[in-house]
A and B are shown apart, each in its own frame.
Chain A
Amino acid sequence: GDSVTQMEGPVTLSEEAFLTINCTYTATGYPSLFWYVQYPGEGLQLLLKATKADDKGSNKGFEATYRKETTSFHLEKGSVQVSDSAVYFCALIYQGAQKLVFGQGTRLTINP
């Protein structure tokens, strides 16, 4: 079945460091891909999305590119801030489907 695998956490970085959180997926078709972020004590919020191969999603300085050839959707940010500390979830869904498939989440902590 379809699945999403994220890099193991937790990840701890210093402020202004470069961030990469890896995400790979297994799917039979061509799903849409998402990154959700969960700040402490809150629900999930959509961070960015890409709906077809080679699309780049971006928001708040974060970027991810839909790579069909490597079935990946890695999240990157050039210079992280303390306020980026959160849990990040990669997810996929097929157009017209109801079920989001989530990765297990990666906890990110940014130290000043």
Chain B
Amino acid sequence: NAGVTQTPKFRILKIGQSMTLQCTQDMNHNYMYWYRQDPGMGLKLIYYSVGAGITDKGEVPNGYNVSRSTTEDFPLRLELAAPSQTSVYFCASSDSSLRAYNEQFFGPGTRLTVL
């Protein structure tokens, strides 16, 4: 199993551009998450999904959109990129069954710079 994969690893955007960060998991997890990690800070939840077709906002959703058309994929869309969105983005997934104790599995991250 590859686990959680993310593409791209690095990206530089100009202000106002848009892009999609890709996330795929092969563990058949129904929960998926997007976090951002700013320097010296913990992770903040952007959006999450409890299953295909269901998404919900986290702490910091402004400026982002998500969709969940399949169990495996959970892309994050940035519209009109701003310097405040410069961050490292992590995708994660988890099994919702009670025995799993909500352990989340993380991808390697996408480092995004907006200039």
> Which residue numbers of A lie inside 8 Å of B, CB to CB?
4, 32, 34, 36, 41-46, 49, 51, 89, 93, 95-100, 102-105
Assess the B108–A105 pair: CB atoms within 8 A.
no
Give the contacts of B1-46 with A (CB-CB under 8 A): 4, 31, 33, 40-43, 45
User: Does the CB pair B101–A98 fall under 8 Å?
Assistant: no
The answer to whether A105 and B102 touch across the interface, beta carbons within 8 angstroms, is no
B4: which A residues are within 8 A, CB to CB? 43
Task: Give the interface size class of chain B.
Answer: 20 to 34
Q: Which 4 A-B pairs have the closest CB atoms?
A: A43-B106, A102-B42, A44-B106, A104-B42
B74 within 8 A of A: no
Contact assessment for B58 and A99 in the assembled complex, using a CB-CB cutoff below 8 Å: yes
Within 8 A of A (CB), among B53-83: 56, 58
Among A34, A45, A89, A96, point to the contact of B43 (Cβ < 8 A): A89
